[in-house]
Chain A
Amino acid sequence: EPEVTQTPSHQVTQMGQEVILRCVPISNHLYFYWYRQILGQKVEFLVSFYNNEISEKSEIFDDQFSVERPDGSNFTLKIRSTKLEDSAMYFCASRSHPSTDTQYFGPGTRLTVL
């Protein structure tokens, strides 16, 4: 069964460093998402991406964040200058078609900012 994959599974970085989290959505899907989950807290929407542009973003998704689909398969989340409070699990999700609301999540990347 097709699945969303994410790399790396765990990323440790120093405060102020840039990180890029990578996702490979399910191949025929058109809508892509990033969420984060701070330890012990709820899953929070960051951004959605469709047709090579951001379709919606939350207030969390400030100028430090950016997303890109550099080729036909990868979908990346970049954090330019990480802060301690960026430490969280970051989940990528994809969805196939506007007529279905079903999104499929990847296993997540645990980001630890020291």
Chain B
Amino acid sequence: TQLLEQSPQFLSIQEGENLTVYCNSSSVFSSLQWYRQEPGEGPVLLVTVVTGGEVKKLKRLTFQFGDARKDSSLHITAAQPGDTGLYLCAGTSGTYKYIFGTGTRLKVLA
């Protein structure tokens, strides 16, 4: 069974701090996605990474796919209160099925 473990589960930081969220698995994924979810809403796609070692940047967010395509990280620089939310990673192995991670709940305090 494929599993994606995210760490930390919860993170509370002050505005302006940097943080990194990790998404780890023992399985290889053909691609991995990062989402952000607000309470009562569906996940919103932030980025898709496909190639091992790939790094993508989205303003203050930097996403990296591990060389072996088993793990990924999300780094936020100078966090802002608007970054508060649930961050989810999801992977697929090229089948139709997407496996979601356990989630990281981020709170950025002003």
Contacts and interface: CB of A to CB of B under 8 A. Distances in A.
Interface string A32-46: 010100000011110
B100 A44 contact: yes
Contacts of A50: 96
Determine chain A's interface SS by DSSP, over half rule: strand
Nearest to B100: A43
B96 A108 contact: no
Nearest to B94: A101
Interface bin, chain B: 20 to 34
A42 B31 contact: no
Interface in B1-49: 30-31, 33, 35, 40-45, 48
Nearest to B92: A101
Contacts, number: 58
B95 A43 contact: no
B66 interface: no
Interface in A49-85: 50, 55-56, 58
A90 B45 CA distance: 17
Interface string A74-114: 00000000000000010101000000111111111010000
Given A35-B100, A56-B97, A105-B35, 14 more contacts: A33-B96, A42-B102, A42-B103, A43-B43, A45-B98, A45-B99, A48-B96, A55-B96, A91-B42, A91-B43, A93-B42, A101-B31, A104-B45, A107-B41
